Amino acid sequence: MKMAAGAATIIISRAGSAIFEIASWGVPSILIPFTESNADHSKKNAFSYARAGACSVVEEVNMTANILNSEIERITGDKEVYETMAKNAKAFSRPDAAMKIATALVEVALSHEK
C-alpha cells in the first residue's frame, strides 16, 4: 500500500485508522467518514485531520461525482494548496508512535514482574 501511495497524487479514503498511514505518506487526501461508526469516531478523526490542514472531508450523505471531482481538482489544481496539505499531513504524522506504545507496554509488563 505504501508503494501505491508513493505513486498517488491524492488519496481518497474512508476515515478510519488509515488516517495515520496516510499522514505518514505526506499525500493530500479526501476523507469520507463512515456514516455509522462507533461513537462517531470516523467523523471526529476526519475533521481533526482536516483541522490540521491535511485533508478535505466529504460526508457520505453529500458525496456525488461532481463534488468529489471538484475537490480533486481544487486540491490538485492549486500547487500551494497541494503542497500545504502535504506538509500538514507529514506534520500530523507520528513516526515514533509504535515505538512509544511498545515501550509503554514493555514497561507495564515489567512492572508486574516485581
Domain range for 53: 2-111
pTM of the model: 0.82
pLDDT value for 11:
94
* CATH number, domain with residue 75: 3.40.50.2000
The residues facing 11 across adjacent strands are 29
Which stretch of DSSP H or E encloses residue 14? strand 11-14
Which backbone phi and psi does 35 adopt, to 5 degrees?
-65, -40
The structural domain count of the chain equals 1
The 10s digit of each residue's pLDDT in 25-55 is 999 999 999 888 778 888 999 999 999 999 9
3 pLDDT above the threshold of 70 = no
Grid coordinates standing for 55? 485533508
Supply the mean pLDDT for the chain: 90
